[in-house]
A and B are shown apart, each in its own frame.
Chain A
Amino acid sequence: MSAGLAVAIAVLAFALITIAKGVRLVAQGEEWVVERLGRYHVTLRPGLNIIIPFLDNVAYKLVTKDIILDVQQQEVITRDNAVILANAIAFVKVTDPVKAVYGVTDFSEAIRNLIMTTLRSIVGEMELDEALSSRDKIKARLRESIADEAVDWGLTVKSVEIQDIKPSESMQRAMELQAAAERERKAAVTKAEGEKQAAILEAEARLESARRDANAQVLLAEASSESIRRVTSAVGSEPGPMLYLLGEKYIASVEKLAQSDNAKVVLMPADLQETLRGLVGKLGGRG
């Protein structure tokens, strides 16, 4: 191999490798941080970029699209000492690539941990019921609290969503028991109230029937007094008809006596007329 050929091959290799290392195509949605001799030099934007391969070094390749950060589930204790499980999802965007790579070792991990601890402190100030029902409030406060740290790391927290917030298993069991007990209490109260109502209604029914019975007795008495009055006025001073009526009744009752099973001997007064007259006379004497 001649010296000329060797040099030509060397020059070719040099040119190829230099251009290969110097021409950088950055895709849309990415930004590359370039260091020159170990110090930050420039940020490559999407498109065709040329760097000097021997001085410059692409140190970091950053995604500048929104990053979806899954904040893992964690146990959080509320102010009333209830344990709940919460996880969140955050959308973060790198707005300053230099701060993001030099400000913190791993910005994704950093912001994730920050969200976890902040979530814990926010929920820690709330009662269980409040925490379960006010997701929006948690979201707003979370975003506010993270803002200051995000500045140092060149990140913008676009939104933080509480994905899941639920009581721990033992807490859930206790809540279910509480709910069941509450239902049972209501059932017992309803039953007792029904019984009370029934007793009152029964008593009222008795009172009403007694009142009507009394009325009926009064009416009956009035009716018999009226009938007696009428019979009296019809009979007048003549004892004949009265004797007839009385005699008829007397004989009818004696007949009934004779028909009964246990008394076969029936005594009839010999002087029926005098007996009746005695009765009437007594009545007449009184009236």
Chain B
Amino acid sequence: MEWWHWVVGGIVLILLELAIPAFFVIWFGLGALLVAGVLLLAGDLSLTAQLLVWTLSSLAMAALWFGVFRPGRQTTRIGTATGEAIGEVGLLVAAVAPFERGRVRFQKPILGAEEWACLAESAIPAGERVRVVSIEGSYVKVARA
């Protein structure tokens, strides 16, 4: 294969990334451009060697990218299953104990209501500030803030 085959192929692959947003095709495109560069500098290589260089360089770049990329802090948790309400601080209106439901009131409505029935692992008297630990259907689990 000539060097320009690789350039064209690489650009097509990079453009393909726009059509299938999966974020791996771009590395194969860049790999193809790299092979084109190697062909220009080193002259002739066998097709097997070209394919191997392409595969290895693409994999290396992808691995590097996933190594560098950290699924960093979410900028917003809106629309996630539990995200929005976790950590919200509310005031306990009615005391809660392991086998007794309490009521907690929030400053602003969370999940569509200001007041929720709540559960807790330990007994907390009314009037305490509590933090949402998890959402259990229509109850919230709280702990001392």
Residues of chain A at the chain B interface (Cβ within 8 Å): 2, 4-5, 7-9, 11-12, 15-16, 19-20, 23, 25, 28-29, 31, 43, 45-50, 62, 64-65, 91, 93-97, 143, 146-159
CB pair A20–B79 under 8 Å, yes or no, is no
Contacts of A152 in B (CB 8 A): 137
Which residues in B have their C-beta under 8 angstroms from that of A149?
Answer: 137
- Tell me the bound Cα distance from A46 to B77 in angstroms: 9
Q: Which of A8, A43, A46, A156 contacts B74 (CB 8 A)?
A: A46
- A residues less than 8 Å from B111 (CB atoms): 93, 95, 156, 158
Instruction: Point out the residue from B51, B69, B112 that lies within 8 Å of A9, measured CB to CB.
Output: B51
In whole angstroms, how far apart are the Cα atoms of A146 and B78 in the complex? 24
In the complex, the answer to whether A12 meets B51 with C-beta atoms within 8 Å is yes
Q: How far is the CB of A182 from chain B (nearest CB, A)?
A: 42
A250: shortest Cβ distance to chain B, in Å? 114
- B91: Cβ under 8 A from any A Cβ: no
Answer yes or no: B6 CB below 8 A from chain A CBs: no
Distance in angstroms from A168 CB to nearest chain B CB is: 31
List A contacts of B47 (CB < 8 A): 5, 8
Whether A5 lies near B21 (C-beta < 8 A) is: no
Within the complex, what minimum Cβ distance (angstroms) separates A13 from chain B?
A: 9
Within 8 A of A (CB), among B96-118: 111-113, 117
Does B52 lie within 8 Å of A8, measured CB to CB? Answer: yes
**Is the Cβ of B113 less than 8 Å from the Cβ of A5?**
no
Report chain B residues within 8 Å CB of A153. Answer: 137
CB pair B62 A19 closer than 8 Å: yes
Q: Is the CB of B28 within 8 A of A16?
A: yes
Residues of B with C-beta under 8 A to A159: 112-113
B135→A49 contact, CB < 8 A: no
Residues of A within 8 A of B112 (CB): 91, 156, 158-159
Q: B48 contacts A2, CB within 8 Å?
A: yes
Contact between chains at B136 and A151 (CB < 8 Å): yes
- Residues A156 and B48 in contact, CB atoms below 8 Å apart: no
